[in-house]
Amino acid sequence: EGCAGLVFFGLSEARGFWVFAPLMLVLQAFSMAAGVLANSTMIELAPKEHRDQWIGYQGAFTQLSSALCPLIIMPFLSGEMEGDFPGGTYLKINGSVCLGSAIAYLALVAKFPIPKKKEPAETEEEKAAMAEYEATGNPKFLSARQLHKIQMTHLKEGKPLARATWGTFADDVPDLERIQASARDNLRYLRSLLPERLRMWHKGEAEREQIRGMMRAWAEDNTVWPEQVQKEVGQWVVDWMQHAGYTNPTSNANLYKTIFMTAFPVLMPDRSAGSEANMRDPVPGWLRMDRWMDNYIKLDRLNSREVQCITLFRMTHFRLAGLS
């Protein structure tokens, strides 16, 4: 409807048949598309249980506008033909009505009850991981989607967070590819939670207090690094670096420290997820976390690509300088 309105304004300024005729064809295309899209949008967005009701609203609006518009715009056509209005007034009024209709449709769509997203079915790997968790209490291979639900339930019920033992690098060697591959999907899922979290935060103070309560419970149970965990994590990182071919970091200590700081940038400037500043406005921290996850996904994609450019050249095509 909005595009049709703009075409009407173009028609009002058209001079000559070869300008007017193509614009009329475009106008008809936009008008037909508007009708099809309005109906399909209503059917697609309206929840199934309320779909008939909203289709009725849309039909009533269409019929009412069809009845009223001729009564509104015909006097302008008569006035233009009699010389009371300048040329093109009738078409401009048509365009204005179409633009007004587009605004009305946007307002109508904004009032739709948004349907809930359908949860994807669990994969076989997720089912196996859940069975292992239920049998042993170890959430090591749960997907981010599964673990997020469990952690949120524990926080609401005041239970400790589900935790996996860190373990040794030697134990993880058979599963290194699985761990890294699952991280890609897990990070994408965690990033998908941000829009809803931001929407809830900006919805109102009641929702903010609910989020703050969850954040406080999370911070109380998740900001302490027990000594044993520190040792296990540190040893695991060292073992991985040796496994991956990195040399003794003391040969260039600051370089390695910079790499670590770049790989794990500052998320909370005041070092505490439960700080008053973070509780007052956690959005900057959420955005830093989202950017960090996005950067990891991009870096992982780059690291996973095979370097193929060199295969485009035959080594015999290269000649050292000074040799004939």
In the chain, where are the structural domains located?
2-110, 165-310
Q: What's the chain's Rg over C-alpha atoms?
A: 31
Token readout for 218 is 């999370």
CB 61, CB 39: distance < 8 Å: no
Helix or strand or coil: residue 156?
A: helix
**DSSP labels, 72-99:** HHHHHHHHHHTTSS-TTHHHHHHHHHHH
What is the pLDDT at residue 240?
A: 95
What is the pLDDT at residue 306?
A: 55
Per-residue pLDDT of the chain (324 residues; tens, 9 = 90+): 444 444 444 444 544 444 445 555 555 565 665 666 666 666 666 667 777 787 777 778 777 877 776 776 677 667 767 777 776 676 676 667 666 666 766 666 666 555 566 777 888 999 999 999 999 988 999 999 999 999 989 888 888 888 888 999 999 999 998 898 888 889 999 999 999 999 899 888 898 998 888 888 888 877 788 999 999 999 999 999 999 999 999 999 999 999 999 999 988 877 666 678 888 888 988 999 999 999 988 888 887 775 444 444 444 444 444 444
CB 36, CB 136: distance < 8 Å: no
